Amino acid sequence: MKLSDCTTFKISVPNRRHHTWASKMSTPIGHHAVVRLETNDGIVGWGESPAGETWGGSDMRYYGETPETVCHMINDHLFPAIKGMDPVQISTLHNRMDKVVKGNPYAKAALDMAIYDIMGKALDRPVCDLLGGDFRDGIEVAHSLGIMPVDKCIEEAKIAVDEGVLTIKCKTGLDANRDVELVRRLREEVSETIKIRVDGNEGYSSVSEAVRVTKAQEEYGIMFCEQPLMGARDLARVADRIDSPIMADESAWTMQDIIELDGLNAAQYISCYVTKPGGLYRAKQQADLAGALHMSVDIGGSIELGIGNAANLHLGSALPNAILPSVCPVTKPKGCKGPEIAGIYYLDDVVSEAFDFVGGRVLRPKGAGLGIEVDIQKIKEYSL
Ligand SMILES: [Mg+2]
């Protein structure tokens, strides 16, 4: 079996509402790169990359990518380097990709995902089995409230909870008073039992501001606080002065970052997902390293469509330490049954079937590979 053909697409899928966070306030979600790989014996695998130009590491350590750079890297550098290789040899494939392109994990992740999809289809096994087996069959959904007025957040959170969500994630970081008020009102008006997590996306301007906001939010009960500000050393200064655990996301791109975070006592949790480390292969390695350092992970991401979401759900199923509620969307193509608001960010999808949402959890698709059927008509409809 050899990798023989590669096609890339740039797509844009309509949003349910404008979804924002502190480092992404203007560009809409859903502008993603999609890759279709094929082998010489006709097996097809799919990958997706929700690359964003404003999404990089702390202090410019890692650069933003876009669907355009992802397609360029794949077409002009990465695929030519792996064409003709056996898709089962995942370690050598990554080694080859890393030799021809430094960095650019979002481009490598799209190929890695498609390669795992092919491997699974060739072996008739789900991708989670190729990562070591399944610890669970889905991930608890944290419904993400983008940065919106507090009233609008409360209104949406009430519907999401009525539809079965058990955890709310608040995007914060731009307005300290609003961020405290939001958590206070969620606790009072939505439910005493919902779990609340907050994500500042590096938005706070100082250690003292991050500490003040988080301590005030702790009065109303938060599970943990994600990346309130930039840089591992400042995260450590915040961690020292608050009670809740800190999750690193923008500060955790590589194995070296995780070792540094641990050394500084900067984070107890890591946001781990397929794209940021450069694919499922590296994500599994990073999560295992985090586990060895007694850190738990969530399955984060960038509001993937069905292809990337399936990959994240297979990853989350296979990680013993992926125990935290995560912003895995509830994939639901137009016209399919499912929630209207809970875990829903798009009005349509590029896969044919909705993912099951049961007991506050989104279940990974069953079947070989990623377990999804991609609707090529939808890819064409939403191509840019
Ligand atoms: Mg985050």
- Residue 370, in any domain of the structure: no
- Residue 189, in any domain of the structure: yes
* Cα gap 224→247, rounded to integer Å: 7
- pLDDT at residue 208 in the model: 98
Residue 81: closest CA among 108, 105, 103:
108
Expressed in angstroms and rounded, the spacing between residue 234 Cα and the centre of ligand 1 is 16
- Residue 17, in any domain of the structure: yes
Q: What is the pLDDT of residues 243-271, one digit of tens each?
A: 999 999 999 999 999 999 999 999 999 99
- Residue 23, in any domain of the structure: yes
Expressed in angstroms and rounded, the spacing between residue 174 Cα and the centre of ligand 1 is 14
* Cα gap 70→6, rounded to integer Å: 13
Expressed in angstroms and rounded, the spacing between residue 223 Cα and the centre of ligand 1 is 14
Please answer whether residues 181 and 154 qualify as being in contact, where contact means their C-beta atoms are separated by less than 8 angstroms: no
Kindly tell me if the per-residue pLDDT of 59 is higher than 90.
no
29 and 170 share a domain? no
Expressed in angstroms and rounded, the spacing between residue 84 Cα and the centre of ligand 1 is 37
Kindly tell me if the per-residue pLDDT of 4 is higher than 90.
yes
Expressed in angstroms and rounded, the spacing between residue 380 Cα and the centre of ligand 1 is 31
Give the confidence band of 68 by pLDDT, cuts at 50, 70, 90. very high
Expressed in angstroms and rounded, the spacing between residue 226 Cα and the centre of ligand 1 is 6
Which parts of the chain fold into alpha helices (H)? 67-73, 79-82, 90-100, 105-123, 127-130, 150-162, 176-185, 207-218, 232-239, 255-263, 280-292, 306-318, 376-381
Which residue type, as a one-letter code, is found at position 381? E
63 and 209 share a domain? no
Residue 210: closest CA among 225, 197, 222:
225
48 and 133 share a domain? no
Expressed in angstroms and rounded, the spacing between residue 199 Cα and the centre of ligand 1 is 6
- pLDDT at residue 284 in the model: 98
Kindly tell me if the per-residue pLDDT of 71 is higher than 90.
yes
Please answer whether residues 304 and 312 qualify as being in contact, where contact means their C-beta atoms are separated by less than 8 angstroms: yes
Average pLDDT score, the chain: 97
Give the confidence band of 315 by pLDDT, cuts at 50, 70, 90. very high
116 and 138 share a domain? no
Q: Give residues whose Cβ lies within 5 Å of ion ligand 1.
A: 199, 249
Q: pTM of the prediction?
A: 0.98
Expressed in angstroms and rounded, the spacing between residue 270 Cα and the centre of ligand 1 is 10
- In this structure, what token pair is assigned to residue 350? 């590029």
Expressed in angstroms and rounded, the spacing between residue 235 Cα and the centre of ligand 1 is 14
Kindly tell me if the per-residue pLDDT of 101 is higher than 90.
yes
Expressed in angstroms and rounded, the spacing between residue 225 Cα and the centre of ligand 1 is 10
Expressed in angstroms and rounded, the spacing between residue 338 Cα and the centre of ligand 1 is 25
Expressed in angstroms and rounded, the spacing between residue 142 Cα and the centre of ligand 1 is 12
90 and 156 share a domain? no
Please answer whether residues 30 and 210 qualify as being in contact, where contact means their C-beta atoms are separated by less than 8 angstroms: no
Q: Is 371 or 191 the better-scoring residue by pLDDT?
A: 371
- pLDDT at residue 61 in the model: 86
* Cα gap 112→12, rounded to integer Å: 22
Give the confidence band of 60 by pLDDT, cuts at 50, 70, 90. confident
161 and 309 share a domain? yes
Other Cβ atoms within 10 Å of 155 Cβ, number: 14
Expressed in angstroms and rounded, the spacing between residue 23 Cα and the centre of ligand 1 is 10
Domain harbouring 101, CATH code: 3.30.390.10
- pLDDT at residue 57 in the model: 84
Expressed in angstroms and rounded, the spacing between residue 249 Cα and the centre of ligand 1 is 5
212 and 346 share a domain? yes
- Residue 276, in any domain of the structure: yes
- Residue 369, in any domain of the structure: no
* Cα gap 171→199, rounded to integer Å: 5
Expressed in angstroms and rounded, the spacing between residue 202 Cα and the centre of ligand 1 is 9
Expressed in angstroms and rounded, the spacing between residue 271 Cα and the centre of ligand 1 is 7
- pLDDT at residue 12 in the model: 98
155 and 108 share a domain? no
- Residue 368, in any domain of the structure: no
If one counts the domains in the chain, the total is 2
DSSP conformation letters of 278-344 = TSHHHHHHHHHHHHHTT-EEEE--S---HHHHHHHHHHHHH-TT--S-B-------TT--S-SSTT-
- Residue 257, in any domain of the structure: yes
- pLDDT at residue 201 in the model: 97
Domain harbouring 335, CATH code: 3.20.20.120
Q: In DSSP terms, which residues pair with 145 in a beta bridge?
A: 170
Expressed in angstroms and rounded, the spacing between residue 71 Cα and the centre of ligand 1 is 24
Q: What is the pLDDT of residues 198-224, one digit of tens each?
A: 999 999 999 999 999 999 999 999 999
CB-based contacts of 299: which residues, under 8 Å, 6+ apart?
Answer: 139, 272, 273, 312, 313, 315, 316, 319, 322, 326, 328
Expressed in angstroms and rounded, the spacing between residue 247 Cα and the centre of ligand 1 is 8
Please answer whether residues 197 and 167 qualify as being in contact, where contact means their C-beta atoms are separated by less than 8 angstroms: yes
The backbone region for 20, taken as left when phi is positive above 0, alpha when psi lies in -120 to 50, beta otherwise, is: beta
Expressed in angstroms and rounded, the spacing between residue 128 Cα and the centre of ligand 1 is 23
196 and 111 share a domain? no
The average pLDDT across 13-37 equals 95
% of residues, the chain, pLDDT over 90: 97
Give the confidence band of 14 by pLDDT, cuts at 50, 70, 90. very high
22 and 157 share a domain? no
Query: Per mean pLDDT, which range of 54-58, 126-130, 166-170, 211-215 is the poorest?
Result: 54-58
184 and 292 share a domain? yes
Q: In DSSP terms, which residues pair with 34 in a beta bridge?
A: 9, 48
Residue 344 belongs to domain spanning: 129-363
118 and 135 share a domain? no
- pLDDT at residue 118 in the model: 98
Expressed in angstroms and rounded, the spacing between residue 248 Cα and the centre of ligand 1 is 8
